Amino acid sequence: MRVLAAIAACLLLPGAGAAHGDPMQANVDALMRDYSGGVPGAAVLVLHDGDAVVRRGYGLANLEAGVPVTPASNFRLASLTKQFTAAAILLLAEDGRLRLDDPLRKWLPTLPAAAEPVTLHHLLSHTSGLIDYEEVMPEAIDGQLRDADVLALLEPHDRLYFAPGTQYRYSNSAYALLALIVGEASGSDFAGFLRERIFLPLGMARTVAFEDGVSTVADRAYGYSRVDGEWTRSDQSPTSAVLGDGGIYSSIDDLAKWDAALYDDRLLSDASRALAFASQTTTPTGEDDVDAYGYGWRLHGDQLWHSGETIGFRNVILRFPRERLTVVVLSNRNHPEPYATARAIADLWPAGPARHAP
């Protein structure tokens, strides 16, 4: 992280960005210069002490139509979705509709016997040992997979990677199944539960767990990949319709409301937030800049964060709660991963003692 701090320090030299009037915004603009112009772009949000000190779009949300990215542009969040899936389960636990130590097969009894020891806690913390559905899906499928299709793919395979709770292995399968459990426990469906219990109460009216033919995405950013030096639309894959592990679309404006709700009990109780933000893993993650995993959040020192990567989109959210600092970068392109850029943006603000903790 010293390199990122050095980049930030250089950008803060006297006179940097003076023509823009706001040196800090100019420094962020410099870090985001590759996203500017007639290319797939990004939206950047910096929240400090509850204020949106940076709120800006770069580049294009739709290359073919020339539509620019704005703070209202909705990007597919990919795995940033997992924090919402986890929150839905925690809300249902608060309601008494389920327990975190419930066996998985209590809710999804068609899973094979090998899944008997798996609990909801194991799913939330990526310690279930469930096999990845991408490993067992057919090479060619008709249409797109849904969360229920993930269950059907797992049902014939009576095996786990390891005994639940003994190891950490990031699992999209786990979060697809959690979406089904939200539906079972709530008597609604995953998308409807999120809308009624999270999005609307928080004023995130334009955020949606997108279902083609059922819902729409306002101000939609479309995904692109660099192919032979040209940007080509690559917005959907066979797994893009699986909701629980990555199907939410949102904007930096709506994510500002989500971030605010993570500081108090307007959505989740103190106890539920403590569970989400605390280490729930007992073995190394094997991932860079990840000390442990909570419920829907990666943990590193004082940093809570998560990335989201899918065809045509690369996103990241970094939170430093003690400093009340949050950085969000949403991009509609396959490269680069924005984690390093988001860290460099965070380093523009005075760091608390825990930010660079190992």
pLDDT value for 188 = 94
Phi and psi (nearest 5°) for 244? Answer: -65, -30
**Residue 14 domain flag:** no
List residues bridging with 103 in a β-sheet.
Answer: 119
Tell which residue, 318, 305, 313, has the closest CA to residue 331.
313
Between the CA of residue 50 and those of 262, 264, 295, what are the distances in Å?
A: 11, 12, 23
Q: Choosing from 73, 79, 125, 234, which is the catalytic residue?
A: 79
Q: What is the CATH number of the domain that holds 196?
A: 3.40.710.10
Q: What is the mean pLDDT of residues 238-249?
A: 93
Share of the chain above pLDDT 90, in %: 85
Average pLDDT over the chain reads 92
* Cβ–Cβ < 8 Å for 256, 206: no
State the pLDDT confidence band at 240, using cuts at 50, 70 and 90. confident
Give the integer Cα–Cα distance in Å for 311 and 248.
Answer: 14
Is 36 known to be catalytic?
A: no
Domain assignment of residue 156, yes or no? yes
165-221 pLDDT per residue, tens: 999 999 999 999 999 999 999 999 999 999 999 999 999 999 999 998 899 999 999
Q: What are the beta bridge partners of residue 282?
A: none
The 10s digit of each residue's pLDDT in 90-121 is 999 999 999 999 999 999 999 999 999 999 99
Q: How many domains does the chain have?
A: 1
- How confident is the model over 48-72, as a mean pLDDT? 97
* Residue 355 confidence (pLDDT) above 80: no
Q: Which residues contact 153 (CB under 8 A, 6 or more apart)?
A: 133, 136, 137, 145
Question: Domain range holding 148?
Answer: 59-324
Q: Residue 68: inside a domain, yes or no?
A: yes
pLDDT of residue 288: 87
